[in-house]
Structure 1
């Protein structure tokens, strides 16, 4: 159950990064809405991360959380914001995914 909470925390981190990107592009009330969504997603992400710490060691949970956030945000950047996906960037994102899976495999 704690691993599911940790994955959801990572996805909420991706969501708050997406909201921040959308807020940067918006103006007026729309920007305020995106910033509010950013705040809600950030609170949810930290809350779920905290819940996952009941059984997952802090170092492992934090590394997995940031890994999910980093890879997910990079994918969102490419899909939603037109960021470039270069060969080296793809290589390092792949190694990051491997590292997150490795941490899950060796966690107690």
Structure 2
């Protein structure tokens, strides 16, 4: 169950970044709503990370959490905000995914 908490924590981190991106493009009350959603997603992400630490070593959990957040945020940037999709970016995203999977495979 702790691995599910960790994956959900990473996805909440991606939602946090998405909300920040939307807030950056909004003004007034709409921006305030996106910032509030961002804060909520960030808090949820930390809470779920905390739950996962019951049985996953800290170093592994943190690396997987940041990996999910980094790769997910890059994908959100490409899909939702028009960030460029280049060969080197794809290569490094793939190596990040491979690293996260390797850490999961090596975890006790």
Q: For the superposition of Structure 1 and Structure 2, which TM-score range results when normalised by the shorter chain?
A: over 0.9
Task: Please give the TM-score of this superposition, normalised by the length of structure 2.
Answer: 0.99
**1:100 offset after TM fit, Å?**
0.1
Answer yes or no: is 1:67 the counterpart of 2:70: no
SS of the aligned residue for 2:55 comes to: coil
After the TM superposition, which segments of 4 or more aligned residues of structure 1 sit over 6 Å from their partners? none
Residues paired across the two proteins, number: 108
* Secondary structure in 1 matching 2:93: helix
Q: Deviations over 1:43-82 (max 9, x none)?
A: 0000000100000000000000000000000000000000
| Unaligned residue ranges in structure 2 (runs of 5+) | none
- 1:88: Cα distance to partner? 0.4
| TM-aligned CA deviation for residue 17 of structure 1 | 0.2
**Mapping for residues 1-108 of structure 1, pairs under 5 Å:** 1-108=1-108
| RMSD of aligned residue pairs (Cα, Å) | 0.3
